[in-house]
Structure 1
Amino acid sequence: MELDVWLQATLVPGSEYHPESGSRTVDVQLPGRDPGEETTTLRLRPRYLVLATGLNGAPQWPTNISNLDDYSGEVVHSSRLKSAQEWHGKRAVIVGACDSAHDIAAELYQNGAAEVTMVQRSRTFVMSSQHGIPALLEGLYEEGGMDTEDADLIFTSLPINILEVMHTKIQEKIAKLDQDLLQSLENVGFKLDPYPAGMLIKYFRQGGGYYIDVGCSELIASKKIKIKQGQEVTRLTEQGLQFEDGEEIHTDVIVFTTGYRFIGETISSLISEQVAKRLGPVWGKDNQGEIPGTWRLCGQPGLWLMCGNFFQARCFSKHVATQILLQELNIYDKNWPGRVKDKVCVNRS
Structure 2
Amino acid sequence: MNGHANGHAASTFGYDVLVIGAGIAGINAGYRLQTALPDYSYAILEGRHELGGTWSLFKYPGIRSDSDLHTFGFSFNPWLKPNSIATGESIIEYLNETVSKFGIDRHIQYNHKVTSADWSSDQQQWRLEVDYEGHTKIYHAKFVIMGTGYYDYEKPLEAKIPGLDNFQGKAVHTQFWPEDLDYKGKKIVVIGSGATTITLVPALVDGGAAKVTQLQRSPSYVMNSPQKKPGEYAWYERVLPRALALWVTRMKFILIPYLFYLFCRKFPNSARNLLRKEAKSVLPEGFPMDPHFQPSYNPWDQRLCFCPDNDFFKSFESGRAEIITDTIRSVVKDGIELNSGHKVDADIIVTATGLNVQVCGKIAISVDKQPVDVSSQWLWRHTMLTNVPNLGVLIGYINASWTLGADSSCLLLTRLLTYMRNNGYTKTTPSISESEKQNPRPVLGLTSTYLKNAFKALPHAGNSGPWLPRENYFKDYWAATRADLRKGLNFEKVST
Q: Normalising by the residue count of structure 1, what TM-score does the alignment of the two structures yield?
A: 0.70
Distance 1:333 1:41, change over 3 A: closer
Q: 1: distance between equivalents of 2:354 and 2:288?
A: 27
Distance 1:24 1:150, change over 3 A: farther
Q: What does 1:109-124 correspond to in 2, within 5 Å?
A: 109-124=205-220
Give, in angstroms, the shift of residue 10 of structure 1: 1.6
Query: Unpaired runs of 5+ in structure 2?
Result: 1-102, 229-233, 397-401, 432-464, 467-482, 488-496
Structure 2 counterpart of 1:301, one-letter code: P
Does the 8 A contact of 1:25 with 1:45 survive in 2?
Answer: yes
Q: What does 1:99-178 correspond to in 2, within 5 Å?
A: 99-130=195-226, 144=240, 146=244, 164-165=261-262, 176=274
Q: What does 1:1-349 correspond to in 2, within 5 Å?
A: 1=103, 3-11=106-114, 13-31=115-133, 39-57=134-152, 58-63=155-160, 65-82=161-178, 86-130=182-226, 144=240, 146=244, 164-165=261-262, 176=274, 179-182=277-280, 187-189=288-290, 190-193=292-295, 202=300, 206=302, 208=303, 210-214=305-309, 215-220=311-316, 223-229=319-325, 231-264=326-359, 267-269=361-363, 271=365, 274-280=372-378, 294=382, 296-299=383-386, 300-308=388-396, 309-314=402-407, 316-329=409-422, 334-335=430-431, 337=466, 339-341=484-486
Distance 1:165 1:154, change over 3 A: same
What residue number does 2:42 align with? Answer: none
Does the 8 A contact of 1:71 with 1:236 survive in 2?
Answer: yes
Distance 1:25 1:99, change over 3 A: same
Query: Unpaired runs of 5+ in structure 1?
Result: 32-38, 133-137, 282-291, 343-349
Does the 8 A contact of 1:125 with 1:195 survive in 2?
Answer: no
19-28 or 182-191, which moves further after superposition?
A: 182-191
Q: 1: distance between equivalents of 2:126 and 2:198?
A: 43
What residue number does 2:94 align with? Answer: none
Structure 1 counterpart of 2:196, one-letter code: S
What residue number does 1:289 align with? Answer: none
Q: Deviations over 1:285-309 (max 9, x none)?
A: xxxxxxx874x22333332222333
Give, in angstroms, the shift of residue 101 of structure 1: 0.7
Give, in angstroms, the shift of residue 254 of structure 1: 0.7
Q: Normalising by the residue count of structure 2, what TM-score does the alignment of the two structures yield?
A: 0.51
Q: 2: distance between equivalents of 1:314 and 1:139?
A: 29
Give, in angstroms, the shift of residue 339 of structure 1: 2.8
72-81 or 142-151, which moves further after superposition?
A: 142-151
Q: 2: distance between equivalents of 1:239 and 1:93?
A: 11
Structure 1 counterpart of 2:125, one-letter code: S
Q: 1: distance between equivalents of 2:486 and 2:248?
A: 27
Distance 1:176 1:278, change over 3 A: closer
Q: Deviations over 1:231-260 (max 9, x none)?
A: 232432111222233433220111111110
Structure 1 counterpart of 2:373, one-letter code: V
What residue number does 2:491 align with? Answer: none
Secondary structure of the residue aligned to 2:213 is: strand
Does the 8 A contact of 1:126 with 1:213 survive in 2?
Answer: no
Q: 2: distance between equivalents of 1:142 and 1:256?
A: 45
Q: Deviations over 1:184-223 (max 9, x none)?
A: 5573542244976x6xxx3xx75x3523344011223665
Secondary structure of the residue aligned to 2:418 is: helix
Structure 2 counterpart of 1:250, one-letter code: D
Q: Deviations over 1:27-54 (max 9, x none)?
A: 12334xxxxxxx5432122232212121
Give, in angstroms, the shift of residue 165 of structure 1: 3.4
Secondary structure of the residue aligned to 2:165 is: helix
Secondary structure of the residue aligned to 2:182 is: helix
Does the 8 A contact of 1:131 with 1:174 survive in 2?
Answer: no
Q: How many residues align?
A: 306
Structure 1 counterpart of 2:177, one-letter code: L
Distance 1:176 1:250, change over 3 A: closer
